[in-house]
Structure 1
Amino acid sequence: MYNIALCDDEQDFADEMKQYIQRYQEESGEKIRVMVFRNGLELIENYDPSTDLIFLDIQMDQMDGLETAKRIREKDEEAGIIFLTSLKQYALEGYQYQAVNYLIKPMKYIRLKTELDRWIEKCRKKNPCIVIANDQGTFKAAVNKIHYIETYKRNLLLHTDEGEVISYESMKALEQRLSPFGFYRCHAGYLVNMGLVRKVEKLEITLSSGETVYVSKPKKKDFMKALAGYWGKML
């Protein structure tokens, strides 16, 4: 399922956009959840980290689209942003916030369909993300930025490019979510990203980050076999 946020203070246009997205869902067979916000402040205050794509109007009261995009990027570096505007020059300013594209108002369904087709195709090729929730909030982590996961005080600790994140999921549940992306349970207390493994010596796995993860003796043979298969696919 794709989670799409639509932020525009023109109600008629927002309603039309929502209808277009629902039409696209019916025609394409893609599962899409649409969340509508009337201004940038409302979007920021109610931001859902599982958001995949945001249609963001540039000219809005209270908080314009560029300021909203800036605030979103402080929370989420992965969500796609497509600006909506009637003035092309404003849209060009939005690329500093890693915008996917911009759409000029008014808009016909075929233009939206083309943009969604392009974006979904890109998503299929792009590195996926997982959403982690704990007492501090909800976090989106790109799979290729997760180094390894270890058990930690009855919870899990994810070691990522951005730092450490606690997860309350079980190791088994997280293993099921991440195993399709090249993660391997090398030890009862460790789940490692095989894409970051640089060497294995005795019972120690060294990652490209310099971190060390342990492989248990009973699991080492199967781990080495899985690692060889993973590396083989990368060649």
Structure 2
Amino acid sequence: MLIVDDEPREAERLSELIRRYGTARHEEFQVTWIKSAMDLLSDKSHYDLFLLDIDLPGIDGMEAARLLRTYDEQTPIIFVTNLARFAVKGYEVDALGFIVKPATYGSLSMNLDRALRAIGNNLGRSVMVSTEDGTRVVKFSSIVYAEVNGHRLRYHLDGGEMLETRGSLGQLREELANAPIVSVSKSCIANMDKVVLIRNDSLQMSSGEQLHISRTRKREVTEAVTDYLGGRR
């Protein structure tokens, strides 16, 4: 998780409370601290949770959150601030909660409990894709299918958009371990939520494309998609 706060004493207090929370729940959390919103927006690392002060120098935390949400709609944000009057505005950036300074163990515990539930629900529901413009968080719900050619991994998204990066289907399957995917061939996996028709040897996707099912996987794919769609409905 990432703490964004320009006050070292406040950041250390929060870090100590997080360590206490982890000890109580037999969990170990990796905590990183940065001092400004500019550092946050230029940081291309992936974090599971943002603990974000609002009263920051330069770009304030609320504006930073708005900018963050333009490319990451999913990672939970908890505001840790003495500006409690901004609580209502937090809903504009889908903030998970607020901790009023000075942070207490009780308020932190309540918010972290909620955050861990949200993180658990998000597992396998988004992937980090490195592009020329930086790292992009891609929601699983926007992926129609993914295919690999050599060492290049292509994501085919809603609206016809395609992202290409280095990677393998094996790595992607691990990232999407809890998501409804099916391997139609050695080089292609499909989002079962995007299947609109099961044909004799192919899947028709919501994008209009047809994905050929390899002969050895036909029964497995057909049963998986039929079971999933039947259960979903």
TM-score band, normalised by shorter chain: 0.7 to 0.9
Q: Distance in 2 between matches of 1:205 and 1:62?
A: 51
Q: Distance in 2 between matches of 1:221 and 1:90?
A: 55
Correspondence for 2:87: 91
Q: Distance in 2 between matches of 1:79 and 1:69?
A: 11
Q: 1:81·1:101 contact (CA, 8 Å) conserved in 2?
A: yes
Correspondence for 2:184: 186
Q: Counting strand residues as a fraction of each chain, which structure ranks higher?
A: 1
Q: Distance in 2 between matches of 1:31 and 1:147?
A: 35
Correspondence for 1:198: 196
Give the C-alpha shift of residue 179 in structure 1.
5.0
TM-score after normalising by structure 2: 0.88
2:14 paired with 1:17: yes
1:119-198 to 2 correspondence within 5 Å?
A: 119-126=115-122, 128-133=125-130, 136-152=133-149, 154-161=151-158, 163-198=161-196
Instruction: Judge which range, 166-175 or 184-193, deviates more.
Output: 166-175
Q: Distance in 1 between matches of 2:52 and 2:31?
A: 13
Q: Secondary structure at the match of 1:133?
A: strand
Instruction: Judge which range, 203-212 or 95-104, deviates more.
Output: 203-212
Q: 1:134·1:168 contact (CA, 8 Å) conserved in 2?
A: no
Q: Which residue identity does 1:131 align to in structure 2?
A: M
Gaps (5+ residues) in structure 1?
none
Q: Alignment partner for residue 107 of structure 1, among 103, 106, 112?
A: 103
Q: Secondary structure at the match of 2:127?
A: strand
Q: Distance in 2 between matches of 1:91 and 1:180?
A: 33
Q: Secondary structure at the match of 2:129?
A: strand
Cα-to-partner distance string for 1:91-147 (whole Å, 9 max, x where unaligned): 322321121122211221111011101121233234632223355532322223221
Q: Which residue identity does 1:63 align to in structure 2?
A: I
Q: Which residue identity does 1:96 align to in structure 2?
A: E
Change (3 A) 1:148 1:85: same
After superposition, the CA RMSD in angstroms is 2.2
Change (3 A) 1:5 1:192: same
TM-score after normalising by structure 1: 0.87
Paired residue total: 231
Correspondence for 2:62: 66
Correspondence for 1:231: 229
Q: 1:58·1:91 contact (CA, 8 Å) conserved in 2?
A: no
